Structure 1
């Protein structure tokens, strides 16, 4: 499913703005319906009245914001987007921008690894629970593969790097499930990681991907794709719960 998601992302052509709109919706859905609730369950302890998971959520958002500001690659300016052409879409991105894309895709691979941990732990609790969790992971691995390829390319990385990370993302859940045969990650630490990653994804979706999707083609269709992405994740999480 991860590879299928990446394949769909590659075959977008002139409908790139629709793909980005859908990717943003999928990411928002993952954050709101999957990552944050799971993080809150795993790390509910409070620091000065705020759950640790939500503190890490804010930290994740701010860390990627500070990094983008520090290397001066934030691309939230419509004038820049207006200069994009389909033939030279990534030509203005420098090494720092490519590094952000690789980091984001690497974080998605890490998330998929954690998905594998979840499958392994669920099967230790029972075959029925394990099957439900596995179905949920397989369903949203399509979104992971789609987003891994899209984010890597969005930040100016070449197709070979994007495919390499897509392959790593496809192998990650299997690896994570296998590792649970040896040991498990403490639940508290897992919750903090999920909260941090949720903030990271929310920043990318709202600050980079949505402006990129709407500036060259400000259309209702793009907005509908974003809504469809959110609705799809709601459906997936609802079926798994």
Structure 2
């Protein structure tokens, strides 16, 4: 089931990205700013942050070390999610007020997601499925966004250095959690 949901997560991420691209294309030239696309993308970031919170709560159900490792990961990358949420909302022509509203929603989402896990204990089978699905989403993001960016015509040494540093950081976090 986890492997099938891994594939499902990959496909869902691909479909969401394609639907956003089709929606933008339907509104005219690529130079035109489409506020609805920005709001949809920001809402997806809020959903992502909500699921980060669920992962955080579920990790603490597994154990304190696992919870601490996931908390570190969620907290550090949610700063970037906040920047991205505000930026994408603004870049697509939304008012500052809407961008700030989406930023606040993105900031609250992990807390709300983690709080929901106080209401239930995630069964091990469901946790495996959850992780499988989001593993597929992450693989799609790596394949569609991160790897192509690593092959652009910009300084490859810094990209390689940052990639190796990121892998080493994850290695340390996993070692501390284990």
TM-score for the superposition, normalised by structure 2: 0.68
Determine the C-alpha separation between the residues in 2 that align with 1:157 and 1:237: 34
Match of 1:157 among 89, 97, 100: 89
Question: Aligned residue for 1:111?
Answer: 51
Q: How far apart are 1:206 and its partner, in Å? A: 2.6
Q: Give yes or no for contact 1:53–1:192 (8 Å, CA) kept in 2.
A: yes
In the alignment, structure 2 segments of 5+ residues that lack a partner are 23-29
Question: Aligned residue for 1:175?
Answer: 112
Determine the C-alpha separation between the residues in 2 that align with 1:151 and 1:214: 22
Determine the C-alpha separation between the residues in 2 that align with 1:64 and 1:213: 20
Greater percentage in helix: 2
Q: Comparing both chains, which one has the higher relative contact order based on Cα–Cα distances under 8 Å and sequence gaps of 6 or more?
A: 1
Specify whether residues 180 and 66 from structure 1 end up closer, same or farther in structure 2 by C-alpha distance, changes over 3 A only.
closer
Q: How far apart are 1:153 and its partner, in Å? A: 6.0
Deviations 1:76-113 (A, max 9, x none): xxxxxxxxxxxxxx966645753663354234313322
Q: How far apart are 1:167 and its partner, in Å? A: 4.2
Match of 1:137 among 61, 65, 70: 70
Specify whether residues 170 and 100 from structure 1 end up closer, same or farther in structure 2 by C-alpha distance, changes over 3 A only.
closer
Q: How many residues align?
A: 166
Q: How far apart are 1:56 and its partner, in Å? A: 0.9
Q: Give yes or no for contact 1:112–1:169 (8 Å, CA) kept in 2.
A: no
Q: How far apart are 1:147 and its partner, in Å? A: 4.0
Deviations 1:162-181 (A, max 9, x none): 66555445444443444344
Determine the C-alpha separation between the residues in 2 that align with 1:216 and 1:165: 33
- The aligned runs of 1:43-122 (5 Å cut-off) are 52-72=1-21, 94=34, 97-98=37-38, 101-102=41-42, 104-118=44-58, 120-122=60-62
Match of 2:160 among 223, 234, 238: 223
Q: How far apart are 1:205 and its partner, in Å? A: 2.8
Q: Give yes or no for contact 2:3–2:132 (8 Å, CA) kept in 1.
A: yes
Specify whether residues 99 and 164 from structure 1 end up closer, same or farther in structure 2 by C-alpha distance, changes over 3 A only.
closer
Specify whether residues 60 and 150 from structure 1 end up closer, same or farther in structure 2 by C-alpha distance, changes over 3 A only.
farther
In the alignment, structure 1 segments of 5+ residues that lack a partner are 1-51, 74-89, 123-128
- The aligned runs of 1:2-81 (5 Å cut-off) are 52-72=1-21
Determine the C-alpha separation between the residues in 2 that align with 1:182 and 1:199: 27
Determine the C-alpha separation between the residues in 1 that align with 2:118 and 2:75: 25
Question: Aligned residue for 2:26?
Answer: none
Determine the C-alpha separation between the residues in 1 that align with 2:50 and 2:154: 32
